[in-house]
Structure 1
C-alpha cells in the first residue's frame, strides 16, 4: 500500500471526505497489475514501488504512450501511474485523449471517470461512469465507482445502495466491501465501518489497501497499537514504517481524527 499511501496524502490532508474517492477511484488494485511484459508495463507491481520507481515508471510508460496514444491499455496504465505520482491534471488529459479514440470502450470510460474524480471533477466523473454503465449488463466495478463519487457528493444513502448493488453482482468483493466501510468512516460511524472493513480484509482477494483502510478505522477509534499492527502487515520494513508514520500523523493532525473518533459514540448511521 506504500504507493497508494503516497498518492493519497494530498487528498487525506484535505479531509476525510476525499478518502473514498481516492481509494475507490484511483484503483490501487488495478494499478498493481502493471507487470513485466511490454514496454508499457513495469518491472514489478506498482503497489510495491517507492517514489523514485514510480517516477521512472511514469517516464517509461509515457514513452510508450507517445508512440501510440490511441492504445487504450497503454493510456490507462500511464494515467494510473501519473495519478500515483500526484499528477492528476496530466492523468485527466491523457484519459481525455484515450476516451476520444475509444468512445465505446467501457473500461476506458471507467478509467476516464476515475481520472475526472481524482482531478476533482465529481459531477463530470459521475456522468462518465453512468455513460459507461449498461442496464442490461451492469458492471460491479462501475457500480462501486459510482458509489464512491456519490459519497464524495454527500449522497451517502445512494452511494451505499450502489455498493450493495455491486455486491449483488460480485458477492464478497473486498474492494466494494472496503468502499462501503469507508462510506461509514465518512459518516463517523466507525464501528459499522470496522465491521465491513474486517469483512473486506478477510476475503481471499483483499489487497494491502483494504488492510490500510481497516487500520485507519481502528486507529480513529483510539486503538493505535492495533492499527499500527494492521498497517505493518505484508509490507517491507521501509513501506511499513512509511505507512505507520503517515498513519500516526494523520490520526493526530490538529486532533481532527481523534475528535472524529470521540464523536462516534452516539452515532447511529
Structure 2
C-alpha cells in the first residue's frame, strides 16, 4: 500500500496473491467513493432505524451495510452471498462490485476479482475507483502494463486525485521505467521521499526476479 501522508511506499507480498499491493481505493460497502455512482451511498443510523421500524424491504444500502458487518466478522461466504444478491437486484449499484472484488482479492481469487470489476466498468467505464481497483488487481498479477493503463485513465478523469498518479509511479517503477516513475513521485511527494519510494520499487524488482538455476554435477569414480 502506498501511504501518501508519510510518503513511504510499502510493498506487501501476500503469500496467497504473490504480488504487490499499491493504493487500494476500495469505495465499497465500508466507505464512500470519490466518483460517479459510487458516491453518497453511506447510510446513517437514523436511516437504518427508519427502515427497520417501517418494515420496508432492505435497500441496496442496507444490504451493503450488512455485508460490511459480515466481512468484519470473517463470515466471507455469507458476505459474498449478500453482495451477489445486491448486484443481481441492483446491477448499477457499483459499491457492491468493489466490495465483492475486495473480498475476492482477500481470498486470493484475483482472476475472479478482475472479472467482477470489468463487469462493473461495462456499466460505468469512467468510474475512477473501479479503474484504480482493477489496476491494483493487475499489479498483483504482475501485469504492470495493464495496471498502468488503468491508473493513467483514472488520473486523466480525476487529475486532482494524487493517489492515482502515485499508483502510476508504482507501476512505472515495477516496469523498470525509473526516470518516469521518479518524475511522477516528485509531483506528489518531497524529493527525498520520492527517491526512497523508487529505491523500494527497485529492490522489489530484484526480489521478484527468479533465482538462477544451478546444475549439480555428479563425479564419476
- State if a TM-score over 0.5 links the two structures: yes
Counterpart of 1:256 (choices 198, 204, 211) is: 204
| Cα deviation, residue 143, structure 1 | 0.8
Contact 1:99 1:112 in 2 (8 A): no
Counterpart of 2:83 (choices 127, 130, 141) is: 130
Number of aligned residues: 192
CA distance 1:32–1:161, change in 2 (3 Å): closer
1:19 maps to which residue?
Answer: 21
CA distance 1:158–1:256, change in 2 (3 Å): same
CA distance 1:246–1:181, change in 2 (3 Å): same
Structural RMSD (CA): 4.4
1:193 maps to which residue?
Answer: 147
| Cα deviation, residue 251, structure 1 | 1.7
User: Over residues 4-31 of structure 1, what are the superposed CA-to-partner deviations in whole Å (9 max), with x where a residue is unaligned?
Assistant: 977x85xx445475737x6133779947
Contact 1:150 1:156 in 2 (8 A): yes
Point out where structure 2 has 5 or more consecutive residues left out of the alignment.
Answer: 36-41, 53-57, 211-221
| Cα deviation, residue 165, structure 1 | 1.3
User: Over residues 73-121 of structure 1, what are the superposed CA-to-partner deviations in whole Å (9 max), with x where a residue is unaligned?
Assistant: 489xxxxxxxxxxxxxxxxxxxxxx98998846446546756876x694
CA distance 1:100–1:130, change in 2 (3 Å): farther
Contact 1:177 1:197 in 2 (8 A): yes
Runs of 4+ in 1 over 6 A off after TM superposition: 26-29, 98-103
Counterpart of 2:119 (choices 150, 165, 181) is: 165
Tell me the SS of whatever aligns to 1:247: helix
The structure with higher relative contact order (CA 8 Å, sep 6+) is 2
Point out where structure 1 has 5 or more consecutive residues left out of the alignment.
Answer: 34-70, 76-97, 264-269
Pair 1:145-2:146 in alignment: no
1:154 maps to which residue?
Answer: 108
| Cα deviation, residue 163, structure 1 | 0.7
Contact 1:122 1:153 in 2 (8 A): no
Pair 1:2-2:22 in alignment: no
Structure ranking higher in helix proportion: 1
Compute the TM-score of the two structures, normalised by the length of structure 2. Answer: 0.63
Pair 1:178-2:126 in alignment: no
Compute the TM-score of the two structures, normalised by the length of structure 1. Answer: 0.53
CA distance 1:198–1:14, change in 2 (3 Å): same
CA distance in 2, matches of 1:181, 1:248: 19
